[in-house]
Amino acid sequence: MKGLLKNLGLLLILVGAITLIASALTGNVNNNAILGGSFAAIVIGLISYIVINKRIAD
């Protein structure tokens, strides 16, 4: 369980990046909902990665 929790931030960043790549490949780059959602996933993933790994290390 700790391993999955430790990688939660990286998984969110990966989901956001894959969403951006998929929208670029399909040519759907004018949809603000997709772009905003993937941006939010990347930012939340980055913040959660930092916070979770800091708490697990302590």
Cα–chain-centroid distance for residue 11? Answer: 6
**pLDDT value, residue 55:** 84
What is the reported pTM? 0.85
- Residues 9, 57: Cα–Cα separation, whole Å: 15
Domain boundaries, the chain: 2-57
For residue 15, the tally of other CB atoms under 10 A from its CB is 15
Do 45 and 6 touch, CB atoms closer than 8 A?
Answer: no
Q: What's the mean pLDDT when you consider all of the chain? A: 90
Residue among 50, 27, 29 at smallest CA distance from 38? 29
**pLDDT value, residue 4:** 78
Amino acid at 51: V
pLDDT at residue 58 greater than cutoff 70 = no
SS3 of residue 27 by DSSP: coil
